[in-house]
């Protein structure tokens, strides 16, 4: 059974002092996750949010519809001049994200510290 997707936005600073928005997801990401995934992204002010981290640490499952939502977010971010980094994916989903081309839009890191260090 699919668990509900929850999301929240945290604000951090990179080591260079740049503001970073962290979208933290929990639960499963599927077609029913549109509000949690895209809603969280759309809540960010485009003018001042240039660096975004996607935290998948609390995500257990992502189906093809969920991957499509993530791709939509990444394309919108790219079109807005935002840079997106992702972390916390299982080995399986790191492989899936690489296979479907998500790494063209977002670099993948094992954890938040490594993602922040790359900014």
pLDDT score recorded for residue 26: 97
11: its two tokens: 């604000």
Query: Does 14 reside within a domain?
Result: yes
Q: What does the pLDDT look like over 93-108, one tens digit per residue?
A: 999 999 999 999 999 9
Q: Can you give the residue range of the structural domain that contains 101?
A: 6-118
Query: Does 1 reside within a domain?
Result: no
- How does residue 16 score in pLDDT terms, banded at 50, 70 and 90? confident
> Mean pLDDT of all residues in the chain?
95
Choose between 52 and 13: higher pLDDT. 52
Q: What does the pLDDT look like over 40-82, one tens digit per residue?
A: 999 999 889 999 999 999 999 999 999 999 999 999 999 999 9
The C-alpha atoms of residue 56 and residue 28 are separated, in whole angstroms, by 10
CATH number at residue 67: 3.30.750.24
Per-position DSSP letters for 47-105, written without gaps between them: TT--EEEEEEEEEEEE-HHHHHHHHHHHHHHHHTT-EEEEE---HHHHHHHHHTTGGGT
């Amino acid at each position: 059974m699919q668990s509900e997707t929850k999301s929240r936005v945290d604000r951090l600073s990179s080591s260079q002092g740049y503001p970073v928005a962290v979208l933290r997801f929990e639960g499963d990401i599927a077609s029913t996750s549109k509000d949690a995934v895209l809603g969280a992204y759309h809540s960010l002010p485009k003018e001042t949010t240039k660096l975004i981290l996607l935290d998948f640490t609390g995500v257990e499952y992502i189906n093809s519809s969920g991957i499509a939502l993530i791709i939509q977010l990444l394309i919108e971010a790219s079109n807005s001049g935002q840079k997106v980094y992702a972390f916390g994916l299982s080995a399986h989903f790191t492989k899936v994200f690489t296979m479907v081309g998500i790494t063209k839009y977002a670099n993948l890191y094992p954890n938040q510290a490594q993602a922040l260090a790359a900014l």
